[in-house]
């Protein structure tokens, strides 16, 4: 049975991120709650090593996967102050108003040192078309 999904449906999901995400954080270990993603490592269950409140997006646009796939670019987040030393291996997007963890992805493990800065280059979130 063939499946299809209009680009507008996928765009709505990506636009939701752009309209709601106001925190981007680098975490040590996978955050599964808002608290994990936004509380500093060493405080309660925090896994956050660095966080910025200035995330911006560019998109949505056609995805790389063809069909009706769509993607949005999370703009580069330069020189975020590192709040706790550790090994950053996840990046999380959150909405502070409702304390919601909205999106998590992985990054190549990097050792971060408190007092230094970390840059998150631009990266894409893509929703593939159904097959």
Partner 1 sequence: MDPKEKARRKLEKAMRRPVNDVVLEVQKGTIDINDLFKKIEERVKEKANG
Query: Tokens for 41?
Result: 């490592």
Q: Does 98 bind partner 1 (CB under 8 A)?
A: no
Nearer to partner 1 among residue 25 and residue 44 (C-beta): 25
DSSP three-state, residue 15: helix
What part of residues 28-67 is at the interface with partner 1 (CB under 8 A)? 52-57, 65
Considering Cα of 37, then 39, then 42, then 48, what sign does the dihedral take?
Answer: positive
CB 54 within 8 A of CB 73: no
Q: Which of 25, 28, 47, 77 binds partner 1 (CB under 8 A)?
A: 77
44, 12 contact by CB (below 8 A): no
Residues in the site for partner 1, rule: CB under 8 A?
3, 5, 10, 13, 18-19, 26, 52-57, 65, 75-81, 88, 91, 103, 105-108, 110-113, 115-121, 123-131
């Amino acid at each position: 049975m063939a499946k299809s999904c209009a680009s507008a449906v996928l765009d709505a999901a990506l636009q939701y991120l752009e309209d709601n995400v106001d925190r981007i954080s680098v975490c040590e270990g996978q955050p599964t709650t808002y608290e994990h993603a936004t509380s500093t490592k060493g405080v309660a269950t925090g896994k956050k090593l660095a966080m910025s409140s200035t995330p911006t997006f560019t998109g949505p646009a056609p995805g790389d996967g063809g069909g009706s796939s769509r993607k949005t670019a999370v703009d580069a987040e330069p020189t975020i102050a590192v709040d706790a030393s550790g090994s950053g291996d996840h990046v999380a997007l959150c909405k502070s108003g409702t304390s919601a963890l909205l999106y998590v992805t992985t990054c190549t493990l990097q050792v971060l040192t408190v007092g230094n800065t970390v840059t998150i280059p631009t990266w894409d979130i893509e929703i593939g078309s159904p097959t």
